[in-house]
Every structure is written in C-alpha cells, then in structure tokens.
Structure 1
Amino acid sequence: MGLNTDELYFKPQLKVINDDQIKQIHAATLEVLERTGIKITHKPAIDLLVAGGATVDGDRVRIPGWMVEDAIRKSPSRVVLGKRTGERTVHLERDKSYFGPSLDCVEYCDPETHRRMPFSSEHVKTTAALADALPGFDWCMTIGMAADVHPDIADRVIARNTMENCEKPLVFCCKDTNSVKDIYEMALVMCGGKKNFDKAPCIVHYSEPISPLVYYDPAVDKLIYCAENNIPLINFPAPQASGSSPSTFAGTIVQASAESLSGLVIHQLANPGAPFIYGAFTTVLDMKTTIFSYGANELSLMTGALAQMAQHYEIPFFGTAGATDAKFCDAQAGAEAAFQCLSSAAIGSGLVHDCSSWMDHGFLASPEYMVLVNDIVMSVKHYMKGIPVTQETLALDIIDKVGPGGNYIMEKHTMDHFKEVRYSELFDRKVFDKWEKAGAKKMEQRLQELTLKLMEHRPAPLSDEVIAELDKMQANWK
C-alpha cells in the first residue's frame, strides 16, 4: 500500500456538549429572551428594540427569537485585531485561541519582596511591558487599577500607560462613554488614524450586563457608541451559579447566553455588521467560602460550553483561563492555570483572558504568575499543533537505515527535527546531581530570576509627536 505524502493534520479537540445539547441550549436561550426578557431603562436602546420588533412592559423588554437570530446573522463571524503598528496578529474566527492577561486587579505582588501593595500607575507600565515581552500572550488588557491617580481619570491613564508599554492589541474597560471616546482617540493617534484602525483595530472594549438579565444605562451607552464607531465590543456577563444564576450548569449557560445575545441585538440594531464578541464569565458560588470562584473546574466546563455555542453561532468568543483562587504563585496556582488553559485551547475559546494575573479571586496581579502562565500557554500552544504526519515525519527511510539495535543521535534526520521539541526556560529536567551542581535552584527561585530578567524588556517607544499629542489629550481629561 502506497503512502500519501501530503501532510495530515489534526488539531487536538475537546467537546463538553454535543449537537443536540447545543440546539436545546439555543432554544432555551430564545425562550428566556421571549418569555422573561431583560430589564433596561435606556430610552434610545428601548426605542431601537421596539422599532426592531421587541415588546415593552415598563422596564422589561422581551425580545422575540427571530430578532435574536437576525442579529446573529448580521454579526461578523470574523474579527481581526492588530498591534498599534498596524500588524494584523489576532484573527478571531472558528475555534482559534489567542491568550492574554486579566484586567483591573486591585493589588500587585512585588516579585523581589513578594509583598502585596495597592496597584499603581507604575505597576500598570511594568505589567504591560512584561505582557509585551511574553510570547505566549497575543494581546493585552489593562491589568490593574491605579490607586495613585484620581478616579475620574484613572481608567484613561491606565489605558494610556498600557498602550505606551505594550504594542499588542488592548482589551480595556472603563466607566462611561466619555472614557471610551478618549481611549479610542488615543488609539487612533497611536495607529495612524481611522483608516488604519478599521483595517486592524488595536483596542477592544469590554462591557458587562448585570446578572441576572439587567442592563444599566452607562453600559448601554458604551455598547451603542462602540457599535456606531466599529470599535470591537465584548459583551460579557458574570453569572454565578447558585447566586446570580441557577445552580445547574445548563441553567447558568442559558442565562449567560441570553445576557450576552441581548446585547448583540441592541448592538446590531445600532449598526448592523459592527464587530461583536460573545461570551460570559460563568463560575460557581463556592458554598464553603461564599466566594466567586476563579479556579473552579466548573468555570472551564461552562466556558467550554459557551465557546461551542459561539462556534455554532459563528460569532467570536471571549474565553476565560489561567485564573486562580490561590493567594501565592504556588502549586495550586499552576495546577488551576494549566487545567484551564489546556481546556480552553482544546475547545477553541477565542480571545482567552485571565492567562496571567487574576489571583486570589481576581484581586491580585503577580508578574511571577504572568511568567509561569506564559510558560504553560507556550506548552499548550505547542501541544495544540498536534502531530504532523508526512512521509518525512513518518521516517520510514531513517528507521530502515538505522535498523534494529542502532541509534539516531548522529543522523541528519535528527538534526533536522530535534528542535521541534519545546524546551522551557523555567521547568528543569536535570538529574539530581547536575541540578545540585547548577546551584540547586528550586522552582520558586528560577521563576523569580526569570521574571526579573523579563521585566527589563521595553517595547519600541512612541514618537515624540505622538507623546506630545497624548499629553495634550490627557491635560483636557475631566
């Protein structure tokens, strides 16, 4: 039998729901929006919904299923993001996955002293530059707050500091439409104008409805502004099973989908075809501690189901992985991050956030944890390449040449392919004696040293003209 010399490629895959369950979840989502509806008081959005076919009873809006399905059809199945340089680097479509850090942590863990402290604007710069240096991260977020900046302008200062110190696409959140407008204008200056921005948006806005099924006016304002200006928008509720959503996983998934898709309806009514990213932060209320768990296995299970719903709808997805309930960069943190990241990649979770810094229930950012999770993500990406099968990789000729009892160390085939193995800068494979002679450095010490080394990285600086324009903008922020 002859061999096909074409490459046979298979991407490792994971499914947590089947096709019949996807249909049931979709039908249940439509039922929630038709029967229960959403609470919304935003008059322009209500007017859009009514004109589109929805019904209103006070502040309750009920959306018929055909409106939801029409919005799904109009929403783009592909969203491409770019660096501030214009390079198109993130192609959100089908089951592709791109990893990035988390946002809005309140505290920072210093990698030299391991002391926790309030997150400052300098920490924003530090973590942004580190995210720029880490190859596993395809995009960035506004990782922490800025306790040293007046709260009225802190969201814009954070966004500026991040964009100056990281060239990668930025996902940001902010308090109101004025802030979105200011951050958008900064992005236009950095990328060279509206024409360049539309080719490869370098920012994405993150917004949240309130579970269960509530939209507050500032979030709707931002949603409509982003739609009108073609700023990619993530509409991302955070339902908590047994707290703000049903205790059953299927019920939480249905509610989460209804919350995200109701925003899609408003978004597409405001501007059909505007870029939209679906998803939800679905986790559990931990009954032992009453905390919103970031490390629960169920988080990955429900996120995986929603990723499959996004693939069914052919809408880009905002996923979650790499978060942990651990207080330190320890074994628990590594185990929870590894489980979540591999699960997300194998399902295909789109724009996967939290892969670096959401520790201690979303409270703490740690540069060391960023470096650890980057290494995990690099291993996951390597794993997801699968096993290429070609005449060259099947290696029949070299197997025959070496024959029984031989070895492959000096063969050209080995020299051509041995670098396909991934070698970590962080994880150690030496035997004990050689490990001792090399300094007997435990994982924690290696991680600290590698982190401090990587923190020396700085991206290419912006031009003086761009900096001057940003300074002028900042001076006018209220």
Structure 2
Amino acid sequence: MGMATDKLTFKPKLRVINDDQIRQIHYATLEVLERTGVKMTHPRGLEILSGAGCRVEGDRVRIPAWLVEDAIQKSPSRVVLGNRRGERTVFLEGDKSYFGPSLDCIDYMDPRTHQRSRYTSEHVREVAALCDALPNFPWYMIIGMADDVPPDLADRIVARNTMTYCEKPLVFCCKDTNSAKDVYEMALLLCGGKENFDKAPYIVHYSEPISPLVYYDPAVDKLLFCAENRIPLINFPAPQASGSCPATFAGAVVQSSAESLSGLVLHQLANPGAPFIYGAFTTVMDMQTSVFSYGANEMSLMTGALAQMAQYYQIPIFGTAGATDSKFCDAQAGAEAAFEILASAAVGSNLVHDCAGWMDHGSLVSPEFMVLAHEIVDMARHFMEGIEVSEETLAVDIIDKVGPGGHYLQEKHTKNHFRKVKYSRIFERMFYDEWEKAGSVKFEERLQQVTLEKMEHRPEELDADVVKTLDEMQAGWK
C-alpha cells in the first residue's frame, strides 16, 4: 500500500466534569467530612474512628482530611471477582465496565401472561437462571424479595436460590451480620473454600449509609464483618436531590462521595487493603410525583461524575444504568435504559447495576426487560470497541482494486470482515413486504419469544453432597 500503519485503537470516552471540577468536588468532600461529619452510634465503630484521630462528640464523627486520603491510598485500585468454579471473570479496574441485574424488587412481570404479581422463590430461580444464560451480564444480584418465605429467612433463601441457579459472581444484600455470615458460608462451600474465595471472591456485599450522612448499627456491623473477612464491600448511599441531598447536582455529588468515603475510612482502619467499591445511587426527587426516579437523565449525569471521581481516587465504582420508571417494557423503558447504559459505558463505570428488571422506580422485575437491557448492553459494548485503524482496515488497496462503480460483495476482504457487524434477533431490518411474509411479528412479540427461549436455560446442577450441606445450613438458620 505504500504506507506503514500500525494497528490503532481508541475507546470512545465521555467526561461530564473536568479536572478542575474533580479537584473542587474532592476538596468539598473533605470539608464536609471534616466540618459536618457523619452520625454513628455503633460502639466499636466509634472506638476505631476515635482511636485513629477522628473527633467524636456523642454520635457525631468528624473525619480529618488526612485520614480520608490515607484510606483512599490504602484501598485496592482493582478488585477481581470470580464465579463459583473459581474462574476470575470480572476485573474492576480503570474504566472497564461490567453490567449486571439489580436486586430487591417486590413485584414480578410474567413474560408469558404479562400479569404483575408478588415476587416469589420460583421467580428468583427463573430470573437467576435467565441471568446465567445472558453472556453480557458477567455478574448478578439477588434480584427480588421472595414473598412466599418467612421474612427473617428470606434474604438467605434468596441468596441460596440465586447461587444455585446462576454460576456468576453474586452481589447480595441482607438484613444483619448473621445473614451475612450465612451467605458467606454458602459462598465458601460453593467455590471450594476460603483459599479459592480469596483468590477470586465469589460474593460482594452491598450496604447503604442513610442519606444524609447517617450510619445505622447493622450497616456498621456488616461493614466491619466484610472488612475482616475480605469480602468485597459496596458502600452505596442513595441520596435524592432536593430531598435527602442538595438540589444542585454538584452538591448531591459531594454529599454522595462523602457518604461513601466515610465508610471507606472505617473499612480501611478495620483491615487495610480490604477490597472496597465506591459509589452512590444519586438521583432526583421528581417534584411532580415525589418518586425516587430511576429513569432521570440527571441520574446518569451524577453517576458519571462519581465514576470520574472513582477514577481520580483509583477505587472501583458501583454504577447505575439500565433502569426505568416505566411500568411496562415499552418505548420509555427502552429509551431510558439505552441512554443510561451507553452513558455508563462511555464514562467507564465499573460494576454497573440495574440492567435487568428494575422497572417502576425499583419495584418491578421483568425478564423481558432484562433481555432487552442485555441487548442494549451488547450494542454499547460493540460501540465501545471503537474503530480499529490499521493497514488492513483502512482498505486502501481493496478500494483501488474495486474502483469506481464496482462492488465489494465477492471480495475476500469482505468475507474476512463483515461478521464484525452486530446482528440481533430482537431488532429487525427487513423490508416491509418481507416482514409481512414472515408473519408480521412485532418487536414485543420477538422480545417475548427470545425471553422465553432464554428462560429454558439451567446451569450445571450442584453435587448432591453440596445440596445436602446447603439443606443442613438452612435448617440451622435463625
């Protein structure tokens, strides 16, 4: 060709704040923690923080800037997760993004009948198996609250069902440390013991400070338990602009960051170097409805800012994308999910939740929406690969060979490269007459068909001895 061209790649990138704004947000965060602090009543937590140099006055803890920055330095810059076979599959580092489904919905939309009902243990099993079948979701969460089991046992029964029907790394939440211990014991059993777990943690615990700036005792208990056992911890407040955090987006980001980093300080004091994941579910209060919006584009804006703060701190982040305020798998749901997913991928959020079923502002699981969000994630992943520039892809020689007025259909170059185009079973591109001849199948019908096919999947069954041990564990739960 006469020109030497190395292979050049570029990952598309989005920034919502610049370097000066990042520094301003950081210093404002330090000021909030040093001047305002957080509320905490947990005796051991207060003892640890006071002994490390925090000003503790009653239940108010003020954290000096140097202690926050010391915790940031000690926290790992990467966290690697593994599946139940011990394979390292999720690498939370830099701007790599891994999308997965969300947790704790109370209702279920049946893809067969499109009837809404309370979420049950059977739904847990169905949705976990569906997630196992969807390759663009390399991790998952516990999905929903089982309405058909005793409330005091529900968190552990749901965790058991999800780990049985999906082999991927699990993000779980639970009501107290006893539950966290039981889930941890199940994880150790399934992944082959603590040595394997430490090489590639199979579970991640999700915990929330209460906005604004409050830690309740059970959350501190779980935070310390995770730090001591090196269970990766997501410390993830959910502030609502105009309600539980400032109405300004910058103020909401500052408070969100302060809430997450305050937990990091205690976490790293308890066990320096224990794996920690930063972030916040920062969105708006819809002043027309008062709902905590899951589809607001402002949520993506603030999530993007927090992702950039995480990259500045070199700490992995738990992001949010793929949710909707819609009650149905309709145009609103698709538009909100697509906007959020592409924004999160382009800004480089790491562990991105809500891409499967969080509808009706966090109350409804829909397997069809999970499959749709999975398709959108694949589109975003394809887009984020960018355009490879090399001597082969610039194609100057083949352009010259075909010349003006020719075509490329029979060229070897075309055969070598056309499969890099993404094709979908859900989004069709037929001419209208061909679409009619094929049965006039509409989008929602194709989505339902693909969803029901995917729901036939089941992972490899657990050994009988493992199932027996799980039964024995469950019988001892209090």
Tell me, in whole angstroms, the C-alpha distance in 2 between the residues paired with 1:390 and 1:183: 49
Equivalence for 2:8? 8
For the residue of structure 1 that corresponds to 2:152, the secondary structure is: coil
Aligned: 1:362 with 2:336 = no
Equivalence for 1:267? 267
Equivalence for 1:152? 152
Q: What letter corresponds to residue 349 of structure 1 in structure 2?
A: S
**Alpha-carbon offset, residue 6 of structure 1:** 2.1
**Alpha-carbon offset, residue 225 of structure 1:** 0.2
Q: What letter corresponds to residue 266 of structure 2 in structure 1?
A: I
Matched ranges for 1:301-316 at <5 A: 301-316=301-316
Tell me, in whole angstroms, the C-alpha distance in 1 between the residues paired with 2:88 and 2:421: 28
Q: What letter corresponds to residue 143 of structure 2 in structure 1?
A: I
Tell me, in whole angstroms, the C-alpha distance in 2 between the residues paired with 1:437 and 1:466: 52
For the residue of structure 2 that corresponds to 1:148, the secondary structure is: coil
Matched ranges for 1:359-438 at <5 A: 359-438=359-438
Equivalence for 1:115? 115
Matched ranges for 1:87-236 at <5 A: 87-236=87-236
Task: Give TM-score, length-normalised by structure 1.
Answer: 0.99
For the residue of structure 2 that corresponds to 1:246, the secondary structure is: coil
Aligned: 1:41 with 2:34 = no
Tell me, in whole angstroms, the C-alpha distance in 2 between the residues paired with 1:3 and 1:240: 55
Tell me, in whole angstroms, the C-alpha distance in 1 between the residues paired with 2:31 and 2:154: 40
Q: Tell me whether 5-14 or 28-37 shows the greater mean CA deviation.
A: 5-14
For the residue of structure 2 that corresponds to 1:152, the secondary structure is: helix
Deviations 1:9-61, CA, capped at 9 Å, x for gaps: 10000000000000000000000000000000001011110111101111000
Deviations 1:108-144, CA, capped at 9 Å, x for gaps: 0000110000000110000000011112211010001
**Alpha-carbon offset, residue 3 of structure 1:** 3.3
Tell me, in whole angstroms, the C-alpha distance in 2 between the residues paired with 1:356 and 1:379: 15
Tell me, in whole angstroms, the C-alpha distance in 1 between the residues paired with 2:61 and 2:374: 43
Q: What letter corresponds to residue 203 of structure 1 in structure 2?
A: I
Q: What letter corresponds to residue 123 of structure 1 in structure 2?
A: H
Task: Give TM-score, length-normalised by structure 2.
Answer: 0.99
Equivalence for 1:339? 339
Gap regions ≥5 residues in structure 2: none
**Alpha-carbon offset, residue 397 of structure 1:** 1.4
Equivalence for 2:462? 462
Equivalence for 1:352? 352
Q: What letter corresponds to residue 42 of structure 2 in structure 1?
A: H
Q: What letter corresponds to residue 85 of structure 2 in structure 1?
A: T
**Alpha-carbon offset, residue 4 of structure 1:** 3.7
Equivalence for 2:278? 278
Deviations 1:140-169, CA, capped at 9 Å, x for gaps: 100011000101110000001001100111
Tell me, in whole angstroms, the C-alpha distance in 1 between the residues paired with 2:171 and 2:238: 17
Tell me, in whole angstroms, the C-alpha distance in 2 between the residues paired with 1:167 and 1:430: 37
**Alpha-carbon offset, residue 462 of structure 1:** 1.1
Tell me, in whole angstroms, the C-alpha distance in 2 between the residues paired with 1:81 and 1:41: 32
**Alpha-carbon offset, residue 398 of structure 1:** 1.1
Q: What letter corresponds to residue 159 of structure 2 in structure 1?
A: A
Equivalence for 1:241? 241
Percent identity, aligned pairs only, is 72
Matched ranges for 1:11-26 at <5 A: 11-26=11-26
For the residue of structure 2 that corresponds to 1:465, the secondary structure is: helix
Tell me, in whole angstroms, the C-alpha distance in 1 between the residues paired with 2:96 and 2:299: 19
Tell me, in whole angstroms, the C-alpha distance in 1 between the residues paired with 2:466 and 2:393: 50
Q: What letter corresponds to residue 46 of structure 1 in structure 2?
A: L
Aligned: 1:253 with 2:283 = no
Q: Tell me whether 399-408 or 61-70 shows the greater mean CA deviation.
A: 399-408
Aligned: 1:320 with 2:320 = yes
Tell me, in whole angstroms, the C-alpha distance in 1 between the residues paired with 2:181 and 2:335: 40
For the residue of structure 1 that corresponds to 2:253, the secondary structure is: helix
Runs of 4 or more, structure 1, over 6 Å off, are none
**Alpha-carbon offset, residue 469 of structure 1:** 1.0
Q: What letter corresponds to residue 473 of structure 1 in structure 2?
A: M
**Alpha-carbon offset, residue 465 of structure 1:** 1.4
Tell me, in whole angstroms, the C-alpha distance in 2 between the residues paired with 1:445 and 1:44: 56
Tell me, in whole angstroms, the C-alpha distance in 2 between the residues paired with 1:244 and 1:233: 23
Matched ranges for 1:434-449 at <5 A: 434-449=434-449
Q: What letter corresponds to residue 263 of structure 1 in structure 2?
A: G
Q: What letter corresponds to residue 268 of structure 1 in structure 2?
A: Q
Equivalence for 2:32? 32
For the residue of structure 2 that corresponds to 1:103, the secondary structure is: coil
For the residue of structure 1 that corresponds to 2:205, the secondary structure is: strand
For the residue of structure 1 that corresponds to 2:377, the secondary structure is: helix
Aligned: 1:452 with 2:449 = no
**Alpha-carbon offset, residue 2 of structure 1:** 5.7
Gap regions ≥5 residues in structure 1: none
For the residue of structure 1 that corresponds to 2:469, the secondary structure is: helix
Deviations 1:193-219, CA, capped at 9 Å, x for gaps: 001001100100000000000000000
**Alpha-carbon offset, residue 5 of structure 1:** 3.3
For the residue of structure 2 that corresponds to 1:86, the secondary structure is: coil
Count of residue pairs the alignment pairs up:
478
**Alpha-carbon offset, residue 460 of structure 1:** 1.0
Q: What letter corresponds to residue 145 of structure 2 in structure 1?
A: M
